[in-house]
Structure 1
Amino acid sequence: MAGHSKWSQIKRKKGANDKRRSAMYSKHIRAIQAAVRSGGSGDPGGNLSLKNAIAAAKADTVPVDNIDNAIKRAVGAGEGAADYKDVTYEGYGPGGTAIFIEALTDNVNRTVADIRAVFNKRGGSLGTNGSVAWQFEKKGVILLTDRSEQAQEVAIEHGAEDIQESDEGLEISTPPTELYAVQDALASAGFNIESGQITMIPSNTVAVTGDDAKKLMVLLEALEDLDDVQNVYSNADLPDEE
């Protein structure tokens, strides 16, 4: 879920219980294997989709052995392996929030039916293509456990677009194509990177509180729990107490 604080997003995912963590790992493994097959290579150096999938998996603490095994299985898979397709869906949640969903599926009819059912049950509505996508922009986001001027200078020098300070460190925004250049430069300079991955950032946020905030969180988590759903983003600005 994008919006308000990327630090909150990362921490919430890392704090998931064992059942949700297992499901989350499975989604990352599927994304890695799909990236290998679509990119035609198990080498992230020559397969940007795979590199992005690996970065996202590592951000959610998927063990390196699991990642390596997923790549090996995908490289060795022949005909008959599941053919997954990247699809996106858009909708609306409580409080007038916009929701953007990325999914990876081998059965589009099943996926859209599952997503529509969650929206209908949880107080939201599934929109048409383009209904809310214009409110989000794909960006690289790096979370850095350092707020020094030197770290900011290195990031800007290598392509960072925006830098926000938080209590935990820096939130660095980059064009998707410059994410790894900035990340590698920071790592080479000795800075500790909490996370670096491609995400969707809302152009504007909507403040959501009280009952609407609770309903929205239930809706977003129900969408995230669907097997085919990889990522769920919203433009909600949720206060920390919510």
Structure 2
Amino acid sequence: MSGHSKWSTIKHKKGAADAKRGQLFTKLAREIMVAARAGDPNPEMNFRLRLAVDNAKSLNMPKDNIDRAIARGSGVGDDSVVLEEISYEAYGPGGAGIIVQTLTDNKNRTAAEVRAKITRAGGNLAGAGAVSWNFENKGLITVEVTDGDPDDIALEIVDAGAEDVEVDGNVVQVTAPYEEFAQVKTSVEALTGIIVESGDVALVPTSLAPLDDKGAMQTLRLLDSLEELDDVSKVYSNGDFSDEVLEKYAAAE
């Protein structure tokens, strides 16, 4: 599993605890609102919305909050809001590329906040395309095997159209082609003996940037600090984080 994928998995598991602060629900609601505005308000007819709703449910967001976010995004009610999707590209303190995706109602505020976080950490903003050329859109699914052999389940997932699978204990990390993600996710969900822990579209690096331990820790701290911003929805990096560094960082959090 790539360093970025492992960090993303840690972040998803940590998200259930972060929800107590309320900030996570706000971010999830924004994702739902934008997805609902971009297409049909019915998740069964709008795959992006379905992903956002499934992710919210996996992190224990109440149904009332989900329904309210769909309504706001669809322009229903007096409190409907329009959010703009803006991405920023940067280099971290160790030289790894970073992409920051935001949902905002005030792009000047968001740009200033993102720039401040990156600059204070010793990184710098980059021009459009400077970092994103090294990333591809993929569908990522994390599956927990509850009954059966994880290797056998992985083979079934490959037969369902997955591009790549990696088995780590009873967890299977699945990468699917972006264009076929909806079909692959539906097929995986139909398998028996598994629980789909998470599934979402993500930017996956085509090559990783080597980092020493100090640079890796600094980059991880920067990625987390960016995710703490209210307007930031997702953060990606092509940093190559070793298992040892990730375990050390997770233990310190």
**What's the TM-score bracket when you normalise by the shorter of the two chains?**
0.7 to 0.9
Stretch moving more, 175-184 or 220-229: 175-184
Structure 2 residue corresponding to 1:161, chosen from 160, 163, 182: 163
Partners of 2:113 and 2:160 in 1: CA distance:
42
Q: Which amino acid aligns with 1:183?
A: K
1:214 aligns with 2:217: yes
Q: Where in structure 2 are the equivalents of 1:172-191 lying within 5 Å?
A: 172-190=174-192, 191=194
Q: Where in structure 2 are the equivalents of 1:1-242 lying within 5 Å?
A: 3-4=2-3, 6-16=5-15, 17-18=17-18, 21-39=21-39, 41-75=40-74, 77-78=76-77, 81-146=80-145, 148-190=150-192, 191-242=194-245
> How far apart are 1:211 and its partner, in Å?
2.1
The one-character-per-residue Cα deviations of 1:201-229 (angstroms, maximum 9, x if unpaired) are 11111232332122212211111111111
Partners of 2:118 and 2:6 in 1: CA distance:
26
Q: Is the 8 A contact 1:55 1:197 kept in 2?
A: no
Distance 1:151 1:85, change over 3 A: same
Q: Is the 8 A contact 1:10 1:60 kept in 2?
A: no
> How far apart are 1:177 and its partner, in Å?
3.0
Q: Is the 8 A contact 1:3 1:234 kept in 2?
A: no
> How far apart are 1:232 and its partner, in Å?
0.3
| Helix, strand or coil at the partner of 2:94 | helix
| Helix, strand or coil at the partner of 1:104 | strand
Q: Which amino acid aligns with 1:226?
A: L
Q: What is the TM-score with the length of structure 1 in the denominator?
A: 0.87
Q: RCO greater where, 1 or 2, for CA within 8 Å and sep 6 or more?
A: 1
Unaligned runs of 5+ residues in structure 2 are: 246-253
Stretch moving more, 120-129 or 11-20: 11-20
The one-character-per-residue Cα deviations of 1:37-82 (angstroms, maximum 9, x if unpaired) are 232x320122232123223334444344432332244446257732
Distance 1:19 1:42, change over 3 A: closer
> How far apart are 1:121 and its partner, in Å?
0.9
Q: Is the 8 A contact 2:72 2:80 kept in 1?
A: no
Distance 1:18 1:162, change over 3 A: closer
Query: How many residue pairs get matched?
Result: 240
Percent identity (aligned):
34
Partners of 2:235 and 2:224 in 1: CA distance:
9
> How far apart are 1:8 and its partner, in Å?
4.2
The CA RMSD over aligned residues, in Å, is 2.4
